[in-house]
Amino acid sequence: MTVWNVIRPSAKTLRYWQVGLFVVFMLVWQLVSRNEQYAFFLGEPIKVAGRIWSWFLPLAVDANALFPEGLPGRADIYKHLGVTLLETGLAFVIGTVLGLVFGLWLALAPTASAILDPYIKAANSMPRVILAPIFALWFGLGIWSKVALAVTLVFFIVFFNVYQGVKEVSPVVLANARMLGANQKQLLRTVYLPSATSWVFSSLHTSVGLAFVGAVVGEYLGSARGVGYLILQAEGTFDVNTVFAGIVVLTAFALVLDGLVGRIEKRLMKWQPRQGETEKL
């Protein structure tokens, strides 16, 4: 029996454990950052929080007292954040739709799947970050080069999950549906899509982070706007607190988007038994 089994939190106390772990982490970080040498590399949580506060609530804090070396571009934070969120949202939607369509098509078309299989594997094996300069050449330094890079990251995650989800359909279920007279369109709606839905949502939770990664990496490699651009500028001046502030902001919005995906999943997957219910069975 491990320690975690002994102190396993209940559903009621789980949130307290999560908050407690966060508080302990922040306290340790603050104590370590009291050393100036460590603070140079790790930043200071109070200053990171103050930087975020000064970005979004500039009138509520004396930012000059927190950052005597100069204020970040707080007036432009919404513009930069809006650009990054727009790139991420477009990449997430486009990559998901393309992955869903091509995953279903190749799963239901074995001949096309066999022909394209080596090319799909080669494209998936490619380190897609190296495509960023090519996309910048094709689409310019605007948002579409970042969207294109992020789409390549999202697409393959969704594609392979949809493809596998359709392939996992029970032959018995298919045979029974065909015996009842279901045509291909009805099979797609009532058998294939429900089978692939859980795989799709599993991939979407991963795709949220990858969409942000693609957008930010694209901004790193060539941009004049976006949170990735702000982080790059802060790195150039060794302003580690702004770097961490940008990371925290991106993480917070990624969690919000992931939460929206989770809400949609719960709404569409009501028929699926929850983990606690399956354990009871």
pLDDT digits (tens, 9 = 90+) for 253-276: 889 988 888 888 787 766 555 544
* 109 occurs within a structural domain: yes
Give how many domains the chain has, as a whole number.
Answer: 1
CATH number of the domain to which 231 belongs: 1.10.3720.10
* 14 occurs within a structural domain: no
Q: What is the pLDDT of residue 155?
A: 92
Sole residue written with tokens 């949170």: 227
List of the chain residues with pLDDT < 70: 1-11, 58-76, 170, 173-175, 183-184, 269-281
* 124 occurs within a structural domain: yes
Q: What is the pLDDT of residue 63?
A: 47
Q: What is the pLDDT of residue 9?
A: 67
Which pair of tokens denotes residue 137? 């050449």
Cβ proximity of 164 and 202 under 8 Å = no
Q: What is the pLDDT of residue 279?
A: 46
Angle ∠(250,253,259) on CA atoms, nearest 5: 140
What's the chain's length in residues?
A: 281
* 37 occurs within a structural domain: no
* 80 occurs within a structural domain: yes
Amino acid present at 8: R
The parent domain of residue 138 ranges over 76-272
* 31 occurs within a structural domain: no
Alpha carbon 26 to its chain centroid, in Å, reads: 24
Q: What is the pLDDT of residue 238?
A: 86
* 16 occurs within a structural domain: no
Q: What is the largest CA-CA distance in the chain?
A: 76
* 15 occurs within a structural domain: no
